[in-house]
C-alpha cells in the first residue's frame, strides 16, 4: 500500500505563498475504489450505507429533547432522528466517531497532523473562517431539506441509484461550481 | 446455506455499533488518504484544477454499485434488505443546491470537515460547529415549511424503476459515464495546469 | 508510479467489463420471476359469476402482518404472497417476496398442492373478494393480511415495541429493514410523530437517516 501513496505535491497555504511540500496523498482512483469497498461492506454488513449529516441531526434532536422534549417530539424532522437508546447508540453517530479516528490516524501516520487554517494562496485567515462558518450553516440547511449530504445522498444514494440522490448530486455540484466561480479569488 | 446478507443484526446492538465504528474508521481513513480533508484540495474540483473529488466519488460509486449488483446476482446479498434513502424531489433539488452553495463557501462537506477538524484544521472545526448550528436551526424551523419539506415524495425509488429500465442498464450507463468523466477530467486538469502555469502531477 | 497507473487501468477495464455484463444480464437476480398466465378460462369465469351473485363465502382466515413476516422469514414451504393492488402501487413498494397479481387475474392462479396463499392490498373488501375467488377455484389454504399494506408498515416496518414480545418483534422488524421503536411518553399523543410515520410509508423507508 505504501507505493500507492507516492503521489502529487499538495497545494500551498499557510504563511507566505510558497508551495509547501507535504507527504503525498494517495492515488484518487485507488482511494475511491477503497472507499467504494468500504461503502459496499457497509451495505453488506449493516444493510445501510455511509452518512455524516444524520449524526449531526441526531445530535441536534437529542439536544432539543434535553432542553424542550415537547418541541422535539412535535417536530417531524427532530422526532425522526431521536433514538430510544440515546445519542451514542445511533449508528451514524458511532460511525462519525470512527471517521474522526480514522482520519486522524491516517494523518498522523502520514505526518499531516497540523493545527492550521487551510485556505487559498491569496486568502487571509479571518475571511476564511467567516466563510467556513457561513458555509457550514448553509450546508446544514441544505442537508436537512435534502435528508442527507455528500456522504449519505451523493455517495450512498448514488451507489444505490436513488432518484433523489442523483438529483441531489446534480443540484449540489451545479451550485458549488457557481459559487466557486463567484468566490474564485478565495481559492486560486 | 449462508443466510443472505445483510445480516439481521439488531439496530443499536453492540455488534451493529462495532460495525459502525469499524466502517467509520475506514471511511475517515480513505477520505484523509485522498486529501479530501484539505479544503484547498477539495475546492480544486470546483475551480477545475484538481479533479480528485470527482475521481474519488465516482470510483467509489461505481465500485459499490457494481459490487451490489453482482453480489445480489450471486445470491449473496438480498437487495430488498439494503435501505435506500427515500426521494423527495423538491426538497432534494433545493436542498442540494443550498448544500452545494454552502459547501463551496466552506470548502468542505460535513464528512470531510470532521476529517479536517480531526487533523487539526481550525477551518474544519468551524465548519463542523456551524454545520451543527445550521442543522439545529433548520430542523427547528421545519414546521414552518412542512408542506414543502414533505413534497415530491416518491418513496425509496431507484432509477431503474423510475425510468422503466433494467437495473443492469442503469448500472452500465453509470459505469460508462464515470469512465468517460475520468477521461475528460484528466484532460481538464492538464489544460488548466498549462493555463495557470503550475505543474500539477 | 507506473504500477499505480497500471492498477488503475486494470480496475477501469474490470469496471467496464462488469458494467457491460450487467447490461447484458439486466436484473441482479439469477431466477427471473414466475411467468403468470392471466387468461381466464370460460369455466372459471362461470364459477366466478356464481361467487359474484352472492354464492360463496371466502372461507379464508385472516392473519396479522407480523405472522406473515414470520412465515416469510422462516421460509414457510409453499408460501405465495399475492399483492392484488395495481402495478404502480406494487412498484412503489410491496411486501418482500410478494407477486403482483391483478384482482381479476386471481381466478387463473392454478391451485397447487401444498401451497399457502396469502393475499393483501389496501382494501379489505378487495381482499375478501379475491379470497373468495381463490377458494372457489380450489385453493385449499388462503389467507388475508389483516390491515393489508398499512398494517405491514405499522406492525413490521415501523413498529412500536414493548412488553414480552418486544425483542422478537424488533428482530423481525430489522430483518425486513424496519426500525422498531420503544414507546416514548409522546406516543400517547398521536400527533406529528405518527403522521410522519404513516406519511413516509413508501418502499423500504427506514428511519435511518443519512
| C42-151 topology per CATH | Oxidized Rhodanese; domain 1 (3.40.250)
Do B159 and A166 make contact, defined as CB atoms within 8 angstroms?
Answer: yes
Instruction: Report which of B6, B83, C210, B20 is spatially closest to residue A88, judged by C-alpha positions.
Output: B20
Which residues have CB under 8 Å from B108's CB, separation 6+? A132, A135, B37, B39, B42, B116, B123, B124, B127
- Name the one residue in this structure whose C-alpha cell is 484538481: B50
How many Å apart are CA A145 and CA A157, to the nearest integer?
15
- Which has the minimum average pLDDT: A8-12, A179-183, B89-93? A8-12
Asked whether the beta carbons of residue C19 and residue B182 sit closer than 8 angstroms, the reply is no
Residue B47 has pLDDT above 90, yes or no: yes
Min Cα–Cα distance to chain C from A123, Å: 33
Out of C1, C191, C209, whose CB is closest to A6?
A: C1
Compare B16 and A95 and report the one with higher pLDDT: A95
Helix axes A28-46, B14-34, angle to 10 degrees: 170
Residues facing residue A116 across a β-bridge: B121
A100 touches B: beta carbon within 8 Å: yes
Residues B155 and A164 sit within 8 Å (Cβ to Cβ):
no
Residues near C103 by beta carbon (within 8 Å), at least 6 away in sequence: C84, C121, C126, C129, C130
Flag whether pLDDT at A154 surpasses 90.
yes
Min Cα separation A120/chain C (Å): 28
Suggest the residue from A123, A161, A182, A184 to mutate for an interface test with chain B (most B CBs closer than 10 A).
Answer: A161
Q: Distance of CA C194 to CAs C178, C198, C200, Å? A: 15, 6, 10
Q: Nearest to residue B86, comparing CAs of C26, A146, C64? A: A146
So where are chain A's domains? 120-188
- The pLDDT confidence band at residue A145, using thresholds 50, 70 and 90, is very high
As a 3-state breakdown, chain B gives helix, strand, coil percent values, each rounded to 5, of 70, 5, 25
Taking the Cβ of residue A153 and every Cβ of chain B, the question of whether any pair is shorter than 8 Å is answered with yes
**pLDDT band at residue A69 using 50, 70 and 90 as cut-offs:** confident
Nearest to B179 among C15, C179, C210 (CB): C15
Distances (CA, A) of B135 to A30, A96, B8, B164: 33, 16, 31, 35
Neighbours of chain B (3+ CB pairs under 8 A): A, C
Q: Chain B interface, mutation test: which of A32, A57, A78, A87, most B Cβ atoms within 10 Å?
A: A32
Measured between alpha carbons, how far is C77 from C122 in angstroms, rounded to an integer?
Answer: 26
Residues in chain C: 210
Please, what is the average pLDDT of chain A? Answer: 88
What gap in Å lies between CA C205 and CA C207, rounded to an integer?
A: 7
The answer to whether residues B194 and C48 touch, using CB atoms and an 8 Å cutoff, is: no
Instruction: Give the least confident one: A138-142, B20-24, B106-110, C74-78.
Output: C74-78
Contacts of B186 (CB under 8 A, 6+ apart): B51
Between the alpha carbon of residue A99 and those of residues A105, B15, B24, B37, B195, the distances in Å are 10, 18, 5, 11, 37
Q: Find cell 457557481 and name the residue.
A: A178
**Is the pLDDT confidence value at B195 over 90?**
no
Which ipTM was obtained for this model? 0.94
Delimit the domains of chain C by residue range: 42-151, 158-199
Q: Model pTM greater than 0.90? A: no
| Number of other residues whose CB lies within 10 A of the CB of residue B31 | 28
pLDDT at residue B23 tops 70:
yes
When the pLDDT of each residue in chain C is averaged and rounded to a whole number, the result is 74
Contact check, Cβ <8 Å, A81/C209: yes
pLDDT for the residue C59: 53
Q: What SS3 class is residue A120? A: coil
Give, in order, the Cα–Cα distances in Å from C208 to each of B25, B95, C25, C194, C204: 19, 19, 31, 16, 11
Window A:5-24, CB contacts with B under 8 Å: 5, 7-13
pLDDT band at C111; cut points 50, 70, 90: confident
β-pairing verdict for C79-83 and C98-100: parallel
| Pair B19, B6: CB distance under 8 Å | no
Q: For residue C1, what pLDDT is reported?
A: 67
Residue B92's Cβ-side half-sphere holds a number of Cα atoms within 13 Å equal to 27
DSSP β-bridge partners for residue B87: B155
Q: A90-124 as b/e, with b when 16 or more CB fall inside 10 Å?
A: bbbbbbbbbbbbbbbbbbeebebbeeebbbbbebe
Indicate the residue of B70, B73, B155 with minimum beta-carbon distance to C92: B155
| pLDDT exceeds 80 at position B181 | yes
**Are C60 and C142 spatial neighbours (Cβ–Cβ below 8 Å)?**
yes
Q: Please tell me the distance from the alpha carbon of residue C146 to that of residue C167, in angstroms, as a whole number.
A: 22
Nearest CA among B188, B174, B157 for reference residue B58: B174
**CB-CB under 8 Å, C22 with B70:** yes
pLDDT, residue C147, reads 84
Q: What are phi and psi of C140, to 5 degrees?
A: -80, -45
Distances (CA, A) of B146 to A76, B142, C195: 8, 6, 12
Please report the pLDDT score of residue A115 as a whole number.
96
* B43, C98, C183 from B37: Cα distances, Å: 11, 45, 40
Interface test with A, best of B72, B134, B143 (most A CBs within 10 A): B134
Burial class of residue B150, CB neighbours in 10 A (0-12, 13-18, 19+): middle
CA-to-CA dists, residue C20 to A39, A158, B63, angstroms: 22, 19, 14
Q: How confident is the model at residue A72 (pLDDT cuts 50, 70, 90)?
A: confident
CA distances from B50 to A24, A182, B36, B176, B195 (A): 14, 18, 11, 21, 13
Neighbours of C202 (CB within 10 A): 17
- Tell whether A4 lies on the interface with C, counting CB pairs under 8 A: yes
Q: How many helices (H) and strands (E) does chain A have?
A: 8, 0
Given B7, B17, B101, which is nearest A176 (Cβ)?
Answer: B101
Which residue among A83, A85, A131 sits closest to B106, beta carbon to beta carbon? A131
Three-state SS sequence of chain C: CHHHHHHHHHHHHHHHHHHHHHHHHCCCCCCCCCCCCCCCCHHHHHHHHHHHCCCCCCCCEEECHHHHHHHHHCCCCCEEEEECCCHHHHHHCCCCCEEECCHHHHHHCCCCCCCEEEEECCCHHHHHHHHHHHHHCCCCEEEEECCHHHHHHHHHHCCECCCCCHHHHHHHHHHCCCCCECCCHHHHCCCHHHHHHHHCCCCCCCCCCC
State how far residue A61 is from chain B, nearest Cα, in angstroms.
Answer: 8
> What's the rounded Cα separation, in Å, for the pair B94 and B155?
18
pLDDT tens per residue, range C43-70: 455 555 555 554 454 456 778 888 899 8
Selected residue of B3, B5, B61 to mutate for chain A interface (largest A Cβ count, 10 A): B61
Nearest to A53 among C3, C186, C210 (CB): C210
Which chain A residue has the Cα nearest residue C4?
A4
- Answer yes or no: is pLDDT of C116 > 70: yes
Select from B58, B48, B45 the least CA-distant residue to B180: B58
Whose CA is closest to C47, among C100, C92, C108? C108
Which residue do the cell numbers 475571511 mark?
A127
Amino acid at each position: 500500500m505504501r507505493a500507492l501513496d507516492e503521489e502529487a505535491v499538495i497545494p500551498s497555504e499557510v504563511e507566505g505563498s510558497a508551495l509547501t511540500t507535504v507527504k503525498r496523498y494517495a492515488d484518487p482512483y485507488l482511494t475511491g475504489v477503497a472507499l467504494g469497498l468500504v461503502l459496499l461492506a457497509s451495505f453488506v454488513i449493516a444493510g445501510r450505507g455511509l452518512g455524516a449529516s444524520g449524526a449531526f441531526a441526531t445530535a441536534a434532536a437529542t439536544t432539543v429533547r434535553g432542553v424542550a422534549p415537547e418541541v422535539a417530539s412535535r417536530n417531524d424532522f427532530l422526532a425522526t432522528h431521536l433514538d430510544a437508546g440515546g445519542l451514542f447508540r445511533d449508528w451514524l453517530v458511532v460511525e462519525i466517531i470512527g471517521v474522526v479516528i480514522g482520519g486522524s490516524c491516517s494523518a498522523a501516520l502520514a505526518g499531516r497532523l497540523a493545527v492550521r487554517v487551510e485556505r487559498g494562496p491569496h486568502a487571509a485567515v479571518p475571511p476564511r473562517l467567516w466563510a467556513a462558518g457561513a458555509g457550514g450553516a448553509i450546508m446544514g440547511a441544505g442537508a436537512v431539506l435534502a435528508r442527507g449530504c455528500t456522504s449519505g445522498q451523493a455517495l450512498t444514494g448514488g451507489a444505490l441509484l436513488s432518484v433523489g440522490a442523483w438529483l441531489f448530486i446534480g443540484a449540489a455540484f451545479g451550485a458549488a461550481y457557481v459559487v466557486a466561480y463567484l468566490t474564485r479569488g478565495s481559492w486560486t | 446455506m449462508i443466510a443472505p446478507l445483510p445480516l439481521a443484526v439488531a439496530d443499536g446492538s453492540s455488534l451493529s455499533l462495532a460495525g459502525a465504528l469499524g466502517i467509520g474508521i475506514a471511511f475517515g481513513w480513505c477520505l484523509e488518504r485522498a486529501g479530501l480533508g484539505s479544503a484547498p484540495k477539495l475546492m480544486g474540483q470546483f475551480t477545475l484544477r484538481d479533479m480528485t473529488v470527482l475521481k474519488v466519488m465516482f470510483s467509489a460509486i461505481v465500485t459499490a454499485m457494481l459490487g451490489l449488483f453482482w453480489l445480489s446476482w450471486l445470491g449473496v446479498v438480498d437487495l430488498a434488505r439494503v435501505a435506500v434513502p427515500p426521494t423527495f424531489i423538491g426538497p432534494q433539488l433545493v436542498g442540494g443546491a443550498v448544500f452545494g452553495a454552502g459547501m463551496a463557501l466552506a470548502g468542505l462537506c460535513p464528512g470531510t470537515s470532521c476529517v479536517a477538524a480531526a487533523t487539526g484544521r481550525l477551518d474544519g472545526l468551524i465548519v463542523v460547529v456551524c454545520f451543527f448550528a445550521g442543522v439545529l436551526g433548520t430542523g427547528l424551523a421545519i414546521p414552518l415549511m412542512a408542506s414543502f419539506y414533505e413534497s415530491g415524495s416518491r418513496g425509496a425509488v431507484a432509477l431503474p424503476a423510475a425510468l422503466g429500465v433494467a437495473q443492469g442498464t442503469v448500472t452500465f450507463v453509470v459505469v460508462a459515464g464515470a469512465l468517460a468523466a475520468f477521461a475528460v477530467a484528466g484532460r481538464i486538469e492538464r489544460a488548466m495546469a498549462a493555463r495557470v502555469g503550475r505543474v500539477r502531477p | 508510479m507506473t504500477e499505480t497507473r497500471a492498477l488503475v487501468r486494470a480496475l477501469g477495464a474490470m469496471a467496464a467489463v462488469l458494467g457491460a455484463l450487467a447490461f447484458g444480464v439486466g436484473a441482479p437476480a439469477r431466477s427471473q420471476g414466475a411467468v403468470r398466465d392471466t387468461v381466464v378460462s370460460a369455466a372459471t369465469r362461470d364459477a366466478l359469476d356464481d361467487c359474484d351473485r352472492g354464492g360463496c363465502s371466502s372461507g379464508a382466515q385472516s392473519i396479522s402482518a407480523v405472522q406473515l413476516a414470520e412465515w416469510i422469514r422462516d421460509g414457510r414451504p409453499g408460501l405465495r404472497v399475492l399483492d392484488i393492488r395495481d402495478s404502480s402501487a406494487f412498484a412503489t413498494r410491496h411486501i418482500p417476496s410478494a407477486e403482483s397479481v391483478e384482482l381479476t387475474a386471481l381466478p387463473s392462479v392454478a391451485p397447487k398442492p401444498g401451497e399457502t396463499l396469502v393475499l393483501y392490498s389496501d382494501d379489505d373488501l378487495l381482499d375478501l373478494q379475491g379470497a373468495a375467488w381463490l377458494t372457489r377455484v380450489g385453493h385449499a389454504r388462503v389467507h388475508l393480511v389483516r390491515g393489508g399494506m398499512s398494517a405491514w408498515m405499522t406492525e413490521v416496518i415501523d413498529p412500536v415495541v414493548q412488553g414480552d414480545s418486544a425483542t422478537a418483534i424488533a428482530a423481525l422488524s430489522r430483518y425486513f429493514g424496519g426500525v422498531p421503536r420503544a414507546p416514548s411518553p409522546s406516543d400517547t399523543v398521536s400527533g406529528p410523530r405518527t403522521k410522519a410515520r404513516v406519511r413516509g410509508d413508501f418502499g423500504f423507508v427506514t428511519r435511518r437517516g443519512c
